[in-house]
Amino acid sequence: MLQDNKTEITRKIGCGYEVVRIGVRDLAKPRSLPSEVFTNELETIVNDPTIDVVLELIGGIDPAGALVEKAILNGKHVVTANKELIAKHGSRLVELAKSKGLDLHYEAAVGGGIPLVQPLKHQLAGNDVLKMMGILNGTTNYILTKMQVEGSEFASALAEAQGKGYAEADPTNDVDGFDTAYKISILASIAFGKQVPMDGVHREGIRSITKTDMQYADLLGYCIKLLGVVQPTEAGKVLVRVHPTLLPKAHPLASVNGVYNALWVHGDFVGDVMFSGRGAGSEPTASAVIGDLIDVGRNIMAGGGGSAIPYGTGMQTSSIDELTTAYYLRIQVTDKPKVLGVIATVFGDHGVSLAAMEMKTLDQGRGEIVFLTHPCRERSFCESLKELSATNTIETVCNWFRVESAVA
């Protein structure tokens, strides 16, 4: 990108640029640039006094974290795509950069090529964010789209994603929601002005979703997406959560399919705004990194680096128990009189009211029932479920998911 679009990028920065050094693991691998540009001694880059800006595209904490910190201490602006580093150490590093009049940009850390970080920091900055929901992981969205469109089970959709290179051999980081958790916590930290501790993020992955759940969801007018969601609770606290969610098909996020990512933001003045595009891949990532680099360059030319808003640490997070939302529940029961009555009574006793139901008869005198509840407290729903499980009316609690009931 720096080569292909050099003329325009130079015009936009207002001065030329030179790729001084590229740190790589394997020096022997054939490359398209002159070999003297490459080094496998990464420290030499962050210590090189001729270098103004360091782009960190290693990922993970070690050695990326120490290198970024060293680069800043040595007076270099940094552009990084490292979501884990920013999610865990963003507050400290941004503060450090600002104290030295330097920029630390990380647009590519969330949503690949989609502008999310900077619009939230800048154009939407005047809003109190009332809710944000994002499809922030392309791998899981690809898998869920496959399951939805082709009726596949999770395992085969995962295998297909692995075959296409969308999922790694060990898919934990994606399918168990870690990647989404890093990203939503970064966005939450920007929107609410304090770093969200990773252990304050409620996280569930998509392994438990079955084809059957997908089909019931579809029947009821929903799709299932892995969402990162953040919303303010009591003064100064936020609830940050990552889990599969039933989303009404009419919701703008519901039509974000395949490897696409999107963020939906509801602000007190702007109303709802949505951003979507390719959330991963080398070219979209390059787009975000070079966008940040152009900003750094322009700030250098204008003499105004370090305009980042530092954010403190220790954002207080609410427990998922405090959540009020609607629920999807799929259970199997033994077909006998009064089953439905018992279930409805238990829910009613906990103040959980039912919004929709689907029933079908299975083999051998068993039945399957799916409920959608009206919004209720998570605690009430879970207590109902516990009490129901203790009765002998329910054979199996197959699955339950949270449901977004409306657009705003």
Binding status of residue 248 toward a second copy by CB under 8 A? no
Radius of gyration from C-alpha coordinates of the chain = 24
Burial class (CB in 10 A: 0-12, 13-18, 19+), 128: exposed
> Does the protein bind a second copy through residue 236 (CB under 8 A)?
no
With CB under 8 A as the contact rule, the residue among 57, 73, 96, 124 that binds a second copy is 124
Q: Are 98 and 272 in contact (CB under 8 A)?
A: no
**Closest CB 275 distance from a second copy, rounded Å:** 6
- Given 121, 183, 211, 360, which residue is catalytic? 183
- Interacting residue with a second copy among 54, 157, 293, 403 (CB under 8 A): 293
Q: Given candidates 276, 318, 373, 380, which one binds a second copy under the rule CB under 8 A?
A: 276
38 contacts a second copy (rule: CB under 8 A): no
Interface with a second copy includes 107 (CB under 8 A)? yes
> Under a CB-based contact definition with an 8 Å cutoff, are residues 197 and 165 in contact?
no
Pair of tokens at residue 49: 């006094």
Closer by beta carbon to a second copy, 206 or else 259:
259
Provide the 3-class DSSP secondary structure of residue 232: strand
Q: Is 9 in the site for a second copy (CB under 8 A)?
A: yes
Whether 88 is a known active-site residue: answer no
d(CA 110, CA 278) in angstroms, rounded, equals 11
Interaction between residue 291 and a second copy (CB under 8 A): yes
For residue 304, state whether it binds a second copy (rule: CB under 8 A).
yes
Binding-site member from 127, 162, 313, 316 for a second copy (CB under 8 A): 127
Distance CA 165, CA 220 (A): 33
What is the b/e burial string over 300-319, where b = at least 16 CB atoms within 10 angstroms of the residue's CB?
A: beeeebbebebbeeebebbe
Least separation, in Å, of the C-beta of 135 and a second copy?
Answer: 13
Contact predicate 387/343, CB 8 Å? no
Smaller CB separation from a second copy, 5 or 334: 5
CA geometry: angle 164, 169, 172, nearest 5 deg = 110
We find the least distance from the C-beta atom of residue 9 to a second copy, in angstroms, to be: 6
For β-strands 77-80 and 53-56, DSSP reports them as: parallel
CA 346 to chain centre: 35
Report in angstroms how near the CB of residue 162 gets to a second copy at its nearest: 22
CB nearer to a second copy: give 149 or 159.
149
Least gap, CB of 294 to a second copy (angstroms): 5
149 binds a second copy (CB under 8 A): no
What phi, psi does 260 have (nearest 5°)? Answer: -70, 150
Residue 292 in the binding site for a second copy (CB under 8 A): yes
203 sits near a second copy (criterion: CB under 8 A): no
Nearest residue (CB) to a second copy, 171 versus 297: 297
Scanning residues 58 to 87, which ones bind a second copy (CB under 8 A)?
none
Rounded distance between C-alpha atoms, residue 206 and residue 202, angstroms: 14
User: How many whole angstroms separate alpha carbon 280 and alpha carbon 262?
Assistant: 12
With CB under 8 A, what is the number of residues at the site for a second copy?
59
Interface with a second copy includes 357 (CB under 8 A)? Answer: no
Shortest Å distance, C-beta 81 to a second copy: 13
The span from the CA of 224 to the CA of 246, in Å, is: 5
Give, as ranges, the residues between 170 and 199 that touch a second copy (CB under 8 A). Answer: 193
DSSP letter string over 125-173? TTSPEEEEEEE--HHHHHHHHHHHHH---HHHHHHHHHHTTSS-SS-HH
CB nearer to a second copy: pick between 123 and 172 = 123
**Amino acid (1-letter code) at residue 352:** V
Contact between 3 and a second copy per CB under 8 A: no
What single letter denotes the amino acid at residue 373? T
**Would you count residue 305 as binding a second copy (CB under 8 A)?**
yes
Tell me, residue by residue from 256 to 275, as one string, x for binding to a second copy by CB under 8 A and - for no binding: -----------xxxxxxxxx
CB-nearer residue toward a second copy: 289 or 372: 289
Is 134 a binding residue for a second copy by CB under 8 A? The answer is no
Q: Rounded to whole angstroms, what are the CA distances from 54 to 45, 59, 214, 324?
A: 8, 14, 45, 44
What are the residue numbers of the active site? 183
Residues lying near a second copy in the complex (CB under 8 A)? 1, 4-5, 8-9, 11-12, 14, 101, 107, 113-115, 118-119, 122-128, 193, 252, 255, 267-278, 281, 283-284, 286-288, 290-295, 298-299, 301-307, 309
